[in-house]
Amino acid sequence: MASGRARVPTAIMPFEPAQLAFRDDGTPYSPVYDDIYHSSSGGLAQARHVFIAGNQLPARWRLCERHTIVETGFGQGLNFLATWHAWRADPQRCARLHFVSVELHPFHRDDLATLHAQWPELADLAAQLRAHWPALTPGFHRLHLDGGAVVLTLLFGDAREALTQLQCRGDAFYLDGFSPSRNPDMWDPALLAQLGRLAAADATIATWSVNGRVRTALAAAGFHCRKIAGFGPKRQMLAGRYSGGEQTCAAALERHALVIGAGLAGSSIANRLAERGWRVDVIDEAGAAGQGASGNLAGVLRPLPSLDDNRLARLTRAGTLYGLAHLRRLDTLGLAPRWAATGVLHLARDPRHEDKQREIARLHGYGDDYLRFVERDEAARIADWPVAFGGWWFPGAAWVRPPSLCAANLAAWGQHITTHYARHLQSLEHRDGLWHAIDATGALIARAPVAVLANGTGINALPQARALPVRGARGQVTHLPAPAHTPKVVVCRLGYVSPAIDGIVSAGATFSVDDDEPQLRDRDQRENLAKLDFILPGYPARLDPTAPSDGRVGFRPASPDRLPMVGAVPAVDTVDRSTALADIPRHPDLYAVSGFGARGLVWAALAAEVLASTLDGDPLPLERDLVDAIDPARYLLRPARKQRPADD
C-alpha cells in the first residue's frame, strides 16, 4: 500500500484563496501572477481544443472501465467542467472518470458562481461542483459527483509538494499553469518529473505552452511531445505520449471481499467497495449493524488542529471534511442517518491553552466556514451558557448517531452487500487463494479472495493480526434527561456534551485502557458529571437529582500513537528497522481498518475510501506520507517500548 516516504512541508503559511478579478474584456485574471486564467478568445473553446482534443479524448477513455486525468492548475475549474460535459455527452464513455487537480489558490464558492455564469451550457455541472465545493483548507479533498461516476480529487497546496504526495496512475495530463515567465514554479523540471512517476502506460499529455525548457523537462520525464496547431492567438501547442509506465487496464483480482465487523469501520469499507461494484460479505456477531463500540446515542465529528499542522491534525481535518461530505451523500440517497451539523465549540482548558488556540487559528488562516477562534463572550453566546474561556468554533462540524450511520452505509449499495449477523467468527483461514470465515461449529460463514478486519477489539483474537498493537479502551458515556435549557451545539472541553437528542443529552466519555468491565460504574458516571461541570459550569445543578442515571459502555480499539491502522496486515512480528515500509511482508489480500480509538466518526469514511481506492486501483484521496502514517506495519519499524494509547 505504501510506496516510500514523501517530503513533508515544514513551513506553515496561511492559506490564501484566489482573488476574483477581470481584465477590461471580461477575461478572468490573477493579480498575484499578473496573468489570465484562459485565452481571451474563449475559455471553453480553449479547454476543448487544447486539453480534451490534445489528449485524444473522448476516444481514449473508451478503452478502459476507468480513466484518470491529472491536471496542474485547477483555477476556475473550466477544464474539469468541459471534460465532465464531454464525458457525459459520449454514449461510449468509460464507467468512471477520475479527475485529479492541484491548486495553490482556490476560489471561494461564491466567486466560482460568478465565474461559471459565463458558460450557461455548463450550468448544471457547475452548480453540482459548487454544491460539493470543500472548505478551503490545505490537503487533499475528494468529491463524488454525478452519482459517484465522476470523482474529483482536489490537491489544495503548492504543486511542487502536492504532486510528490500523490499516488495514482494518470492516463492523461493537462498542464495548465500560468505562463512559465509569470509562475515558473508550475513548470519546474522537478515538478514535471513527477508526472512521469504518475503516468500510466501510453499516457497522453497536452499543454498550450511550447516553451523550450518545458519541452526539455517533459522529454527528461519520459514524454515524447510534438508541436501541433494551437488555439486562438497561440499558433502552436504541445501534445505527447509517455513511453513506459504501468498498464492500468489489466485484469484485477476478483472484486469480492469479506468484511469482519459491521460497526463504523466495517460498514464504511463495505459501502466504499460496494459503490465500486464489489460484492461484499459482512460478518458480525451482533444482530444488527453498529451494536458494539459504534453503538452510542451520539458521537462528535470534528477535527483537532495543531500549531505545526502535524499528522493528527491533518488526518482529523481530512477525516472530518470527508465524513461530513459522506453524510450529505447518504442524505441525498434518501437514507437519512441521524446527524446534524449544529457546529462544535471546543473551549480552552485554561489561559495558556486559550492563547495556543488563538495562535493556531491566526497562523493557519482557515476560512470562517471551517474554523475560527471566538472569545469568551461569543463562545458563551454560541453555547447559550456562561463559559470560562473562549475557544475554537467549527460551524460545520456535527453530532452523529453512529448506529444509524452504519445502517445507512450498508443500505446505500445493499444490492452488492450480504450481511451475516449473529455469526461469531472463530477463525479465518486462507486456502486456495480465498479467505474462509469459520464459525465456532466449524461451519463456513462466507469466503472471498480479499478479507478486511474491521471487528474492533475482536481483531486481537485472530492470529493473523498478532503484529498489530490494538488495545481495548473502555469508554463510558452518561445519558441524562435534558433540562429545559440546554446548548443547541456540541461543546467540548476535556470531554463533550451533546445537544438534546430525543430528550437525552450524552456526556463523557471516560477512556480506560485494558479495562474489561462491561457494566456501568458509578465512579465513571461521577467523572462524566465532573467533566460536564468543567465544560458548562453549573449545568449538573440544573439536572433533576431524582432522575435515574443511565449510560452506555463500549470497548474501542485504540492504537499507541492515536492514529488509525489502515492497510495490508503484516505477516511477520519483527523486521529489521532499516526495512522499507513497502517491503515488509504482508498476508495475501488481508487488510485491517482498526485503531480508531475515540475517533471512529472522524476516521471511518476516509479510512474506508483510502483502502477501497487502494484495492480498486483508484487515485488515493490522501497524501503519501499520511498513508504511510496509518499503515498497520509502521509499528514494526519503531523501537520496542511500551506505548500507551491516549485520548484528548
* Domain boundaries along the sequence of the chain: 42-242, 256-288+405-467+567-598+605-637, 299-402+471-558
pLDDT of residue 3: 36
Which tens digit of pLDDT belongs to each residue from 119-146? Answer: 999 999 999 999 999 999 999 999 999 9
Which pTM does this prediction carry?
0.95
Strand order across the 427-431 sheet: 427-431, 434-438, 444-448
Tell me which residue has cell 482536489: 154
Q: What Cα–Cα distance (Å) separates residue 499 from each residue in 47, 169, 506, 544?
A: 49, 45, 8, 17
Give the Cα separation of 154 and 139 in Å (integer): 8
C-alpha grid cell, residue 218: 517533459
* Cα pseudo-dihedral 579, 582, 588, 591, rounded to 10: 110
Q: CA end-to-end span of the chain, whole Å?
A: 29
Q: Which of 157, 10, 197, 147 is nearest to 72 (CA)?
A: 157
pLDDT of residue 2: 37
Cβ(47)–Cβ(38) below 8 Å:
yes
The upper half-sphere exposure of residue 174, i.e. CA atoms within 13 Å in the direction of its Cβ, equals 31
Give the Cα separation of 216 and 189 in Å (integer): 8
Superfamily of chain region 299-402+471-558: D-Amino Acid Oxidase, subunit A, domain 2 (3.30.9.10)
pLDDT of residue 12: 63
Give the Cα separation of 388 and 386 in Å (integer): 7
Domain 256-288+405-467+567-598+605-637 has CATH 3.50.50.60: yes
Would you report the helix, strand and coil content of the chain in percent, each value rounded to 5?
35, 25, 40
Backbone phi and psi for residue 187, each to the nearest 5 degrees, phi listed first: -120, 20
pLDDT of residue 8: 38
Task: Spell out, as residue ranges, where the chain has pLDDT lower than 70.
Answer: 1-13, 39-41, 245-253, 548, 640-648
Mean pLDDT of the chain: 93
Residues 6+ apart with CB under 8 A from 574: 636
Cβ(205)–Cβ(172) below 8 Å:
yes
Q: Please give the class, per CATH, of domain 42-242.
A: alpha beta
Burial of residue 117 (number of CB atoms within 10 Å: 0-12, 13-18, 19+): exposed
pLDDT of residue 10: 45
Give the Cα separation of 17 and 14 in Å (integer): 10
* Cα pseudo-dihedral 521, 526, 532, 538, rounded to 10: 150
